[in-house]
């Protein structure tokens, strides 16, 4: 009789020195100590670079199941991009190079937009700075305009001036690079189908139909005087810099996929006004809507664009959504042969059991 092979995932169970804060060492355990003493075992790190996360970042259920299912380290988007910068492949990335070529060929502008923050939850300042370095190293002569989305949620609520100062210092010697707009993530990065926010962001980027300021710091200070924090800074056009138009190139450097999606759709979808299709599975949406009550009809149709841009070269840092007509700088790297596939090819039957909370992890994530 064949015996079953059982993989048991004890989510949240770890190894630590015995002490008052270690519930495992203080409990009266029977089975685990016996298994530990009777069978071969080893210890594996479950956080940071060991599971494809940035150094010292806590592990989580998603990365744990992905790595177990893959049988190897699967690097997440943030460290993948960081590694690309470190080994210089970032500067040869065909998506970025394509954007530069497109703008140069059409004698047009190159726009770079994304969150400006040191939290690195949705995007990274280092990635913006690497893009600026790419422009300098590549001898990009076309005008480059920055559209900065202030944070105020994952970073302190009034920290934007410091981040903008860092950007201004970086571009101070680059005569062709300027900050063109600034706005809070409340408008540019909505994910709750509150399309009126996305509409305001889109119009400010394409029509310039919002308030103006002589420079980004002045715009931030004005918002503070009105009692607004970084997250809620109203879209502001800086000076008289041109808006995003046909035949321009755009790079959206946010790497987390959920919050850039609505604004990206507005730029690139021909059928945007009637587009209501959702991803078959969005891990960020699952986590978010499980924890929050959202009073928005998710079937609500987007706004009607006054200006459409059918001829722009749009680059996204990662794959925000399947089948978007964009160029992706760092496409998904799916696990080609997860352990479940190996079992299937060996004609071994599989039974995966979980409570509702972890259902997606033993199915979706475990399969890579």
Residues 320 and 338 in one domain: no
The length of the chain is 368
Q: What are phi and psi of 299, to 5 degrees?
A: -90, 0
Residues 158 and 128 in one domain: yes
Counting Cβ atoms within 10 Å, is residue 104 exposed (0-12), middle (13-18) or buried (19+)? middle
Tokens 């609500």 belong to 300
* pLDDT category of residue 357 using cuts at 50, 70 and 90: confident
pTM score, whole prediction: 0.86
Domain that holds residue 283: 91-328
Residues 223 and 103 in one domain: yes
Residues 239 and 355 in one domain: no
The pLDDT assigned to 292 comes to 42
Q: Is residue 24 part of a domain?
A: no
The pLDDT assigned to 312 comes to 98
Query: For residues 234 and 246, what is the distance between their CA atoms, to the nearest angstrom?
Result: 25
Residues 168 and 254 in one domain: yes
Alpha-helix residue ranges (DSSP H) falling in 259-338: 261-268, 283-291
Q: Is residue 38 part of a domain?
A: no
> What mean pLDDT comes out for the span 288-310?
67
pLDDT of residue 347 exceeding 50: yes
Query: For residues 135 and 107, what is the distance between their CA atoms, to the nearest angstrom?
Result: 16
Query: pLDDT tens for residues 183-193?
Result: 999 999 999 99
Domains of the chain: total? 2
Q: Is residue 267 part of a domain?
A: yes
Q: Is residue 11 part of a domain?
A: no
Q: Is residue 254 part of a domain?
A: yes
Residues 211 and 241 in one domain: yes
Chain center to CA of 277: 20
Residues 64 and 166 in one domain: no
> What mean pLDDT comes out for the span 331-344?
91
Residues 218 and 344 in one domain: no
Strand order in the sheet with 144-150: 211-213, 236-238, 177-184, 144-150, 110-116, 249-252, 313-316, 327-328
Query: pLDDT tens for residues 42-91?
Result: 999 999 999 999 888 888 888 999 999 999 999 999 999 999 999 999 99
Domain at 135, CATH number: 3.40.1450.10
* pLDDT category of residue 364 using cuts at 50, 70 and 90: confident
Facing residues of 7 across strands?
none
Reduce the secondary structure of 179-230 to three states and give it as a string: EEEEEEHHHHCCCCCCHHHHHHHHHHHHCCCCEEECCHHHHHHHHHHCCCCH
* pLDDT category of residue 143 using cuts at 50, 70 and 90: very high
pLDDT of residue 298 exceeding 80: no
pLDDT of residue 240 exceeding 60: yes
Q: Is residue 131 part of a domain?
A: yes
Residues 66 and 136 in one domain: no
């Amino acid at each position: 009789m064949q015996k079953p092979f059982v993989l048991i995932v004890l989510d949240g169970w770890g190894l630590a020195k015995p002490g008052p804060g270690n519930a495992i060492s203080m409990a009266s355990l029977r089975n685990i100590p016996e298994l530990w003493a009777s069978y071969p075992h080893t210890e594996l790190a479950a956080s940071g670079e060991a599971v494809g996360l940035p150094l010292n970042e806590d592990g989580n259920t998603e990365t744990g199941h992905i790595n177990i299912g893959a049988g190897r380290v699967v690097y997440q988007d943030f460290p993948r991009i960081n590694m690309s910068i470190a080994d210089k492949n970032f500067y040869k990335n065909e998506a970025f190079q394509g954007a530069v070529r497109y703008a140069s060929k059409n004698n047009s502008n190159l726009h770079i937009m994304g969150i400006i923050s040191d939290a690195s939850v949705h995007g990274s300042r280092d990635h913006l700075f690497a893009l600026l370095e790419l422009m300098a190293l590549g001898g990009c002569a076309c005008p480059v305009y920055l559209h900065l989305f202030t944070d105020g949620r994952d970073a302190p609520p009034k920290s934007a001036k410091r981040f903008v100062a860092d950007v201004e210092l970086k571009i101070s010697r680059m005569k062709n690079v300027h900050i063109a707009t600034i706005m809070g993530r409340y408008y540019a990065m909505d994910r709750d189908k509150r399309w009126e926010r996305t509409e305001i962001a889109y119009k400010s980027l394409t029509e310039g139909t919002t308030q103006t300021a002589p420079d980004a710091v002045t715009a931030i200070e004005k918002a503070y005087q009105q009692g607004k924090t970084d997250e809620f800074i109203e879209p502001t056009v800086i000076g008289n810099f041109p808006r995003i138009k046909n035949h321009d190139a755009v790079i959206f450097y946010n790497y987390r996929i959920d919050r850039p999606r609505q604004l990206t759709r507005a730029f690139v979808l021909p059928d945007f006004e009637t587009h209501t299709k959702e991803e078959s599975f969005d891990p960020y949406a699952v986590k978010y809507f499980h924890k929050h009550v959202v009073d928005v009809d998710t079937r609500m149709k987007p706004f009607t664009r006054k200006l459409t841009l059918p001829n722009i070269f749009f680059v996204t840092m990662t794959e925000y959504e399947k089948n978007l007509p964009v160029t992706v700088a760092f496409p998904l790297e799916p696990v080609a042969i997860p352990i479940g596939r190996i079992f299937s090819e060996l004609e071994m039957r599989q039974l995966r059991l979980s409570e509702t909370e972890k259902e997606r992890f033993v199915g979706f994530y475990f399969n890579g």
